[in-house]
Amino acid sequence: MKALFGVFLMIPLAILLTWRIVCSVSFSMDCAGYLKRSADANTIEMAQTQLNIAIKYLEEHNLTTGYCSIFLKQPKNDIGFWYNNLKASAKELASIPPTASQLEKTNVLMKLRETLLDQGESTTITGPDGISIYPENKLFFWLCITFLFLAIVGSFLIVGFIEGW
């Protein structure tokens, strides 16, 4: 009976982690993927189309202001700055005339790529950490702490059952 109760105490954490993964994948498919495609585009028109899809998603999901941080308002988690930077990039793409030289177009596309992507050990989309679960970041944090505690208690119950406590 203890082991079964221990397993039930672990289920909420598994559900919460599954929810986090689903949110991350959903954001990646519906927004971040379009930002990556915009950064990879070879023409101004393609970049503009993909960037506008991502911006529309952010606006529809009210991801235009706020901070993803839970305790400290860190600049890297400022949604407003990130969103306004994307809007400025879209405006710059729209301002390029069709008669612009290839060099001008290439420079704008390179600047866009630098704006949208972070270079490190791997290339990632520039964006606030935790944006995929915003505005539920605080809720997720407290649920994770609570469910992690319950999972630890559950694991002790299971180990106790196995060890014969």
The predicted model gives 71-81 an average pLDDT of: 92
pLDDT at position 164: 66
Q: Report how many domains make up the chain.
A: 1
Domain holding 139, by residue range, is: 2-163
Q: Is the pLDDT of residue 99 over 70?
A: yes
Type of residue numbered 40: D
pLDDT at position 11: 95
CA distance 114 to 127: 12
The predicted model gives 97-105 an average pLDDT of: 93
34 versus 7: which is more confidently predicted? 34
pLDDT digits (tens, 9 = 90+) for 138-161: 999 999 999 999 999 999 888 876
Q: How far is CA 79 from CA 41, 44, 54, 121, 153, in A?
A: 24, 25, 14, 24, 37
Q: Is the pLDDT of residue 122 over 90?
A: no
